[in-house]
Chains A and B, each alone.
Chain A
């Protein structure tokens, strides 16, 4: 208390002139002498007065700020002074007064001028506008303001301002600015549309819309399941291969394996009727080293020619690897430098000036400026358009075409050459059917004269026109189909359509199917529809001019500008009005301008194919367009009432379909590994931004790696366990393995793989006894060999270090999250399950994490570093299960520089046996599934672990596992499904 008082006094006296203390210092000088004596005024008077005042507040002083007083306080007489010396007294008062004045004039606290103002006189933004101050303070304020402006970054601001807004918004300047901004991350054609409505992220060298700024999670889901959701997938990279069919197939067969499903050579796909998808591996290394999934499309054969064209669509993260691999298998080493090739190829020039940027950001970055903007006048081939292009943005010498001398195969990098939109949902075909009109024939007189446009030329060829009419017929039948899922998966349809901007509705409408009632359906049409549903689109109708480089360039270069489209629309409307007055209403005009025909390719995307429920959910169409036409098709599609989704929605789409999403769910691919690292860094950053007391303590929750999944370690540990199980009894296994995971780590082992062998997957899936997600209907187990230990051993010999993609459905409560652990239930959990299920509403048993307290202690030990290490050792050595982690606190404390509160330090102990339930794997996507109406998770589990578990489980509970979120102690029962 006294200390506080002293402090307060000091504070009070800090700004006081020294003379105020004069009397007191006099006194204290006499008695204690600790204060420096200030005045030499030393008369008796002041001291006398002081004494008297002292006497008055003696008890106050006693509590003590000047210690001298206490001593002689009692000795003072309590009478008033007998006399006062006038001069001395006045002098002392004068000193006090002057001190007071000094204290008053001196400003304390903030040095703002308006700090001196009383509160009621302060105004908003005073420092900005000094006129809001009373006049007497303005000068000072102005001076202060100038000073602060000088200190601030005044110069920079003024430079940025040098152009007026009008100048900046002028078309050419705007383009320059846009080009500058997409030098690093390429913009898609719909970028500006997206940027106004979406949260944009810079990913994979592109600017992509992640999710809309408005709330639409559920509406988007609803759109996917009942109407249509639109996405711009133009960032997917297309690689074109040309060459003899057998040579192409021979080279490509090194990249794939038949065991993993259909390959590039699948009969249906090579005919060009269907799009195929395949997981590509490094040449000849099938089970290991996958690159990632690709989809591919063959151009239908032309008669009498074995020369084929193939498009391979890949994700931008694995494009570069894929390209290198393709070049090596096709022996395409000879790069064709673009300038050698005239205009046709130049359009697609300009890739990677800097090869050091591994992801393929640069190629498009460089190309875009040239081709994208200003496409109607000149393309890159001509002398560069003067205003737009900074020369440094593109390097025309970089090759995009490679040719092989030995095989004759030509590889073309068509990245950003083709716009790809994806429509998801059962109504996507009606959206397409309403948006597009099959291209109208051109006039007779146009036919006679040669034209630079592709369509008039196209019209001259009667066979082509025949084909076009057939395609238009097929397209017309689409309107009679109710759901996109009715069509054969992967169907392809080529088409030439009119510029959709000409038929743009004035208001947004919702495209609905116009299915006729069965009575009025024409027999012939019905027959055609059946044919389409059964056989798909006939082979010759899959042909499209979009495959031709020259046609693509022609269409891109001759795109009508917005103004001319507007004019055309005006003319059309006028004509329509006149016609409707004069002629039969509803007859369509054929006077669309000749450049308004675009070749497109429609590719059907299969919906959910695996599993038993929600079959063909999320089917849809992909729309391929020549570049430059992106916005011309985007807006009309949007006007047909579709929802727009971003990256977020494609993740949800694949989650509902139950398929792995690239690159999230490909931990064995380089892109997947890269993604996992990024994700870990991001999550860790987010975690560290919270104060330690508010973080989830993952150590307490027994979660070793909440931000990543150590697949390799998991696979190795389970392989060891599996090996031991074959010799020992089950009870021994856990302890055995936990005691020796170091061996597993030390032994150099092959990298884990993801099981993609179809036969093995099917076998495993039978063993897991798949059920529907609600568990209501059990499906029959196929004719698989029964699961016993010998079969399991045989299986493990092949796929010991593999992990397998599984779907987990939670029949009761629980919403799985990212990186939730999949664990093996013990016998009593299963018993609990039995009891609860019999009791009607199945309820989750609550499992305790028994490691909580120990982990806390361990954490303390780690924090205190070496001091307590031996103590922790002693404590932990008696824990049976944690033998491996004994040395961990020490090692971590040594490297405690990067120790993060609530997270396990880096050398992880045994991941399988860390918790009370043995870990099988982790979840990579988990959410409440709107389609199943319960929590659903997708993830990987170790094959060895899964088989071990299945062997131990009684037949009626086979495939039941536990799921636990990283930030929760609650285990939830889940059903494991492997779907092929």
Chain B
């Protein structure tokens, strides 16, 4: 259970300073980029936020534990940005290892992220800027279908 340790438990996607943002022209010499954490929503027990820092096997094991030992009929695997791949991977692995007993339902969404641009020379550069950018996210519901 590595997640509670990391406040940034939903994956912080690696976004480079020169990420595409048409709104603001940023000169990397003049500004420091500081990424804020993505907005968090309340988390249920059966929500799994996948990140790129924790070991893959650990995250997979965690999902399996929730499904088998935890007694949940369904879990939600969330991935943001770079972690989308991993979220899909986890979901598929879960399905394979259950020999088809599990079903998947995937949803995608867009998450708005906030960056702070701090001017290097704060006295002259005026207002530090804040910009928003969008990133994709995936939410995969992994569940046992009802017997009926």
Contacts and interface: CB of A to CB of B under 8 A. Distances in A.
Interface of chain B, main secondary structure: loop
B65 interface: no
A263 B2 CA distance: 39
Nearest to B42: A515
B132 interface: yes
Contacts of A615: 8, 12, 35-37
Interface in A523-555: 530, 533-535
B41 interface: yes
Contacts of A933: 2, 5
B120 A609 contact: no
A482 B42 contact: yes
A964 to B, nearest CB: 28
Interface string B9-47: 000101010000000000010000011110111100000
A497 B120 CA distance: 37
B58 to A, nearest CB: 12
B133 to A, nearest CB: 12
Contacts of B52: 777
Interface string B87-114: 0000000000000000000000000101
A758 B120 contact: yes
A842 interface: no
Given A225-B5, A615-B37, A930-B5, A777 B114 contact: no
Chain B residues touching A, range: 20 to 34
Contact of A258 (B2, B5, B6, B123): B123
A771 to B, nearest CB: 12
Interface in A727-743: none
Nearest to A261: B122
A713 B9 CA distance: 44
B127 A485 contact: no
A485 B53 contact: no
A931 interface: yes
Nearest to B32: A980
Interface string B54-89: 000000000000000000000000000000000000
Nearest to A779: B14
Contact of A267 (B4, B16, B37, B126): B126
A774 interface: yes
Contacts of B121: 258
B134 to A, nearest CB: 13
Nearest to A515: B42
Contacts of A46: none
A488 interface: yes
Given A482-B42, A777-B52, A267 B122 contact: yes
A265 B123 contact: yes
A535 B130 contact: yes
Interface string A580-593: 00000000000000
Nearest to A613: B53
A311 B99 CA distance: 66
B40 A534 contact: no
A613 B37 CA distance: 11
A485 B40 CA distance: 10
Interface in A499-534: 513, 515, 517-518, 530, 533-534
A486 B42 contact: no
B39 A482 contact: yes
A617 B36 CA distance: 11
A533 B114 contact: yes
A534 B5 contact: no
Most chain A C-beta atoms within 10 Å of own C-beta, residue among B34, B116, B123: B123
A483 B5 contact: no
A266 B40 contact: no
A616 B39 CA distance: 12
A489 B40 CA distance: 17
Contacts of A609: 34
Interface residues of A, number: 44
A485 B36 contact: yes
Contact of A262 (B28, B37, B116, B122): B122
Contacts of B114: 486, 533-534
B7 interface: yes
A266 B120 contact: no
A780 interface: yes
Given A268-B127, A614-B6, A777-B52, A482 B122 contact: no
Nearest to A273: B127
Contacts of B112: 530
B130 to A, nearest CB: 5
A226 interface: yes
Nearest to B116: A488
Contact of A617 (B7, B42, B126): B7
B52 to A, nearest CB: 7
Nearest to B130: A534
B100 to A, nearest CB: 32
A110 interface: no
B145 interface: no
Contacts of A263: 122-123
A930 B2 CA distance: 11
A226 B4 CA distance: 8
Contact of A614 (B2, B8, B28): B8
A777 B83 CA distance: 14
Interface string A269-292: 100000000000000000000000
B28 A783 contact: yes
A749 interface: no
Contacts of A772: 53
Contacts of A533: 39, 114
A613 B112 CA distance: 20
A643 B112 CA distance: 33
A396 interface: no
A616 B12 CA distance: 12
B16 A780 contact: yes
A596 interface: no
A426 interface: yes
A515 B53 contact: no
A776 interface: yes
Interface in A773-804: 774, 776-777, 780, 782-783
Contacts of A225: 4-5, 7
A426 B2 CA distance: 17
Nearest to B39: A486
A933 B37 CA distance: 20
A616 B7 contact: yes
A485 B7 contact: yes
Nearest to B29: A783
A440 to B, nearest CB: 30
A269 B14 CA distance: 30
Nearest to A485: B37
A780 B132 CA distance: 23
Contacts of A262: 122-123
Interface string A215-240: 00000001001100000000000000
A489 B7 CA distance: 16
Nearest to A759: B120
A783 B27 CA distance: 12
Nearest to B132: A534
Contacts of A774: 53
Given A426-B7, A758-B120, A774-B53, 16 more contacts: A258-B123, A266-B123, A268-B128, A483-B39, A488-B116, A489-B116, A513-B42, A534-B130, A614-B7, A772-B53, A777-B14, A777-B52, A780-B16, A783-B28, A931-B5, A933-B2
Interface of B: 2, 4-8, 12, 14, 16, 28, 34-37, 39-42, 52-53, 112, 114, 116, 120-123, 125-128, 130, 132
18 contacts: A222-B4, A265-B123, A266-B122, A482-B39, A483-B39, A488-B116, A489-B116, A515-B42, A614-B7, A614-B8, A615-B8, A616-B36, A616-B37, A777-B14, A777-B52, A780-B16, A930-B5, A931-B5
The 5 nearest A-B residue pairs measured at CB: A266-B122, A262-B122, A482-B40, A534-B130, A265-B123
